[in-house]
Amino acid sequence: MYSTVMTSIVEGINTLPIFVEADISDGMPMFDMVGNLGPEVREARERVRTALHNCGIILPAKRITINLAPGNIRKNGTAFDLPIAIGILSSMGIVDERLCNGKMFVGELNLRGEILPVNGVFPMVSDGVKNGCRSFVVPLDNMREAELAAGAEVYGFSHLKEIIEFLNDGNYTKRTYNIEESKPEMKQMDFAEVNGQHYLKRACEIAASGMHNLLMIGPPGAGKTMISERVATILPPLTDEEKMELSKIYSVCGMLSKMNALLSKRPFRSPHHTITKAGLIGGGTNLHPGELSLAHHGVLFLDELTEFQKSTLELLRQPLEDHQIRLVRGNGAVSYPASVLLLAAMNPCGCGYYPDMQRCRCTPASLKRYFNRISQPLLDRIDICVEAQPLSYQELTGKAKNESSETIRDRVVRCHEIQYERFKKEEFLHNTQIPVSKLKQYCGLEEKEERYMEHMYEKMGMTGRTYHKILRVARTIADMEECERIQMRHLNEAICYRSVNEKFWGGGNA
Ligand SMILES: [Zn+2]
């Protein structure tokens, strides 16, 4: 007897259909599995055999062959256990083959026959629907995320025995899954809670408006973290497409199954500086996504930037440019989306008080070492550099009403709309991405401004790269005022954000 069962495999955040073929024929009793299998998939043989046994089903003393097609795709993970078991049951005539047809099966089995959750169910189901599949049999613990895919008919089970019954009589009573006590919605952070730091807030608004990466330098306690945490709240709301994409990433990490809905807020991720390379950019044996991808469409905040391993930070260079990360291991490679707004914060020196020479105890040599922990190529990917001053007493205790995130967000949204309109024929969306070849077209200066920039170029000893960044940031500042042409005041403000960089890293080479 021969049967085919449909399942799916995750590659990055996309999925591919996989067909489990099961054949039982006369011959030497054996149980063989083929089809380019990784170690976990090869172990499925023992799990399936024992799980079936514990459900009271003894495999016949015949030749059992399982093939996972197509053979050119490497199969990893434990989600094939259930489809393999169903394929065998169907070949044995224990379940009704007609009831298996047209359904997709996903799930891990333990030795008792219980069905355990797997990662990536949301992309599997939503791609399945797109490819014309309607019915999905998934672990009960993954049911909630499977149901988030529009148009899917989902059957959730916690034990193999229940599935066998279902595939015989077709009766299904929808099980209620445990919805975790919905915690009282965490109070949404808001810029209204941030006193003072107008300069820093302004820089954040510019960063959010043109998606410019931003570095904040300032003493501990200046509010760098508090402000960064709130930047995600002033970015435009996620589109439906972005919500889907983000939710797929969280599903692949096994973080969607506990949620009641698709992710709807822009993420804010703030990994600790002791994070490993795989933790930050992704990797490990199953090439899982890292913090960088979990921050997709949102904010990646690196606090105490100088404390991160220099080699770890270097790995961010490519994805910050490409907006995706490609991970390669052995015979596999996957790509994850990674379009983030990078915010970074650091103290101005090892002791935290530079350039206040009354209090700073650092030697010139140790200062140099300190700043050298951030490489030039990484700094090149940061458009705006801003100094945070310690708060004054009035600012700290001030009762002045601060602008709310909502008010700021309305302005940012308007600025994004201007950019979408301007770049609708381009491959990029935001000012920070304007390639050098198009700077003249989008950031052209009039004669007076041109002469001024020439003068500043000489005076500050700028490099070409610095000059280009100033133009891009000035473009955003002009957009914030809905100005068609970049004007002197826009250039001046953009130059200010560069001079902070020059002050700490020395002129010219920034
Ligand atoms: Zn110091």
Q: For the residues of 239-294, what is the DSSP string, one character each?
A: PHHHHHHHHHHHHHTT-STT-SS---S--EE---TT--HHHHHEETTTTEE-HHHH
Distance (angstroms) between ligand 1 centre and the Cα of 302 equals: 21
Distance (angstroms) between ligand 1 centre and the Cα of 390 equals: 15
N- to C-terminal Cα distance for the chain? 70
Distance (angstroms) between ligand 1 centre and the Cα of 348 equals: 7
Rounded Cα distance, 455 and 461, in Å: 10
Higher confidence at residue 342 or residue 355?
Answer: 342
- The pLDDT value recorded for residue 329 is 78
What is the per-residue pLDDT across 235-248, written as a single tens digit (0 to 9) for each? 999 999 999 999 99
- Non-local CB neighbours of 110 within 8 Å, separated by 6+ positions: 47, 51, 116
Q: At residue 146, does pLDDT exceed 50?
A: yes
Q: Which percentage of the chain shows pLDDT scores above 70? A: 96
* Selection from 253, 243, 227 nearest residue 298 by Cα: 243
Distance (angstroms) between ligand 1 centre and the Cα of 358 equals: 10
Distance (angstroms) between ligand 1 centre and the Cα of 62 equals: 76
Rounded Cα distance, 161 and 118, in Å: 19
Distance (angstroms) between ligand 1 centre and the Cα of 354 equals: 5
Of these ranges, 258-262, 392-396, 435-439, the one predicted with the greatest mean pLDDT is: 435-439
Distance (angstroms) between ligand 1 centre and the Cα of 360 equals: 4
Instruction: Tell me which DSSP letter residue 148 carries.
Output: T
- Tell me what the mean pLDDT of segment 262-281 comes to: 94
Rounded Cα distance, 33 and 41, in Å: 9
- Non-local CB neighbours of 399 within 8 Å, separated by 6+ positions: none
Distance (angstroms) between ligand 1 centre and the Cα of 309 equals: 21
Distance (angstroms) between ligand 1 centre and the Cα of 74 equals: 53
Distance (angstroms) between ligand 1 centre and the Cα of 453 equals: 34
What is the per-residue pLDDT across 357-404, written as a single tens digit (0 to 9) for each? 888 888 888 888 898 889 888 888 899 999 988 777 777 777 778 899
Residue 333: band (very low, low, confident or very high) from pLDDT cuts 50, 70, 90: confident
Distance (angstroms) between ligand 1 centre and the Cα of 273 equals: 20
Instruction: Give the helix ranges, DSSP H, for 291-337.
Output: 291-294, 310-314, 317-322
Distance (angstroms) between ligand 1 centre and the Cα of 367 equals: 7
DSSP H or E segment with residue 228:
helix 224-231
- Tell me what the mean pLDDT of segment 213-218 comes to: 94
Residues around the ion ligand 1 (C-beta < 5 A): 349, 351, 354, 360, 362
Distance (angstroms) between ligand 1 centre and the Cα of 450 equals: 39
- The pLDDT value recorded for residue 356 is 79
Distance (angstroms) between ligand 1 centre and the Cα of 222 equals: 16
Distance (angstroms) between ligand 1 centre and the Cα of 364 equals: 9
Distance (angstroms) between ligand 1 centre and the Cα of 503 equals: 15
- The pLDDT value recorded for residue 507 is 47
Domains in the chain: ranges and CATH: 2-169 (3.30.230.10), 191-410 (3.40.50.300), 434-510 (no CATH)
Lowest mean pLDDT among 126-130, 177-181, 205-209, 227-231: 177-181
Distance (angstroms) between ligand 1 centre and the Cα of 347 equals: 9
Q: Do residues 389 and 355 lie in contact, with contact meaning Cβ atoms separated by under 8 Å?
A: no
Of these ranges, 84-98, 164-178, 319-333, 387-401, the one predicted with the greatest mean pLDDT is: 84-98
Distance (angstroms) between ligand 1 centre and the Cα of 200 equals: 22
Lowest mean pLDDT among 143-152, 168-177, 321-330: 168-177
Burial degree of 72 (CB within 10 A; 0-12, 13-18, 19+): exposed
Higher confidence at residue 260 or residue 102?
Answer: 102
Q: At residue 431, does pLDDT exceed 70?
A: yes
